[in-house]
Structure 1
């Protein structure tokens, strides 16, 4: 055998062998160890309810009809489509009909809309008025902590059996261990509009922020990721359905554990900016100064001067009957994965 060929082939063979024994690959085999009672329980579950599908499809259609949010008339949208959008979101959360936002112990939460109790206030504004202040907003990843009153967090209960979670480099305020808690700071509406595409083209100039409104800033597109979380004794949690809107998380917050119904899941929405994408408001030469250090989701080769530090987080999602899914994520390099989910991050301020 040609020695030169062997010297070239050996490194590739060793890499392939190493890949076969990575923690992620090892974890995928754990589904065969899933107890029968957990398998039987999973058979009663569905990856997505009809209501959640209707809401997602409406949101996708909205993206096509309003390709640049800078051209959206907020008052006209709320008047013409606000009720339909809000109703679909309420039903996706598990309400039979409409829902409204109420404050309890200083925390906003969704409750079922009861017209008889709305009183004179209903004559002044529609039940879906809660949508109006939530049309445009995004979240960024704090280096440490968020300004008071702005933190948004989503806790994922990741796979318990042979957990293969991982992380490296800069992950900011993200908590990554056997489970994962993503922490974000809500950006004021005025600063949200300052986020735009970078002027240079190429996937390595892409970045994304958490979507916290109906529309993304000018020049961005919506990306949706569904992750199936741990089925058994699930401990999903978040800072509140109102807080993480328009994303949705099932079990045990905001809905109790059902006998039948959707998988314990997390459906997260992002605003993705392609490098040099067209924007009515133009491109962005520097990330907005928000008064604190923060980062965004960005490719692992996100270049300087925008990237001040880089990192990544890998989540070992539920192994048994996993039905992770993506919508609108063509061309992404900062979030990849089938049965598991890998995201890269970059500190930009």
Structure 2
């Protein structure tokens, strides 16, 4: 029995990947588990000829995913760019799972990420005892991906210091990683490439050098274009998370999800859905990922402290927590929105009262 809270994509969706591979008769780039066409179908979903249902991992424009997949079939690396919550990491993981069968070769970018995370490190006990050797070398995920002809994921690239980012330049341009201590280099095997993610809001933190920018093809993952598209994303991910968490609650009514999504969309866009009224925006991003978190947290409250049915009171506390980030500005913005928009909507009085009470 698998006790992992969330399995890797290649494990969780192994039956879909196997079914796609069995029916995939299109050309595959070297070392790819599936053809680019099948990888795109895996991301966007379809029903195969044998009746196997491939669930959509990304709901959005097909061309965007086609460009991302085709980039990885070239010698250019892929940079997924977007505001927080646009599924950059999610798409990155599923691309690696479908193409390489392994999404675990991952470098997590932070302000403290060192050069060894991108290149290689050393087992210092062996290094001191034996000197530089293959046994003392600790390969980075990128070095492993180069040796094995797989994809490596680099999360939050712009969070890393600039000098660490630039270690990628030689790797991406020359497809080689020098190891001067051993007097040799690691040459990338066919199939190697890099998928990086970066946050639009991090521009100015550690911007990419022009030399590194030229090594990437940038694909922007936008926020969902319509409320129906965003509701579908939230519904799908909440169902998946509820199953993983074994929440003993009824699936949330579509109406509750739609209300959460509508509020988030209106507050981040600065106008009501019908375009008739302007509203002030809070300091947070109010992304699709945060809407998923609000509904999931509400389900947990309903399951463990209610009757198992998601109600307005269950989602109010999480919603207020997601919206009110700045303790000075955001409460004023949200109270005004509650009084001028939510209070006046038919059938929304329960949500208005629950959020108002939570704001006291």
For the aligned pair, the TM-score class normalised by the smaller chain equals: under 0.3
TM-score by length of 1: 0.23
Q: Identify the structure with the greater strand proportion.
A: 1
Please say which structure displays the higher CA radius of gyration.
2
TM-score by length of 2: 0.22
Q: Identify the structure with the greater helix proportion.
A: 2
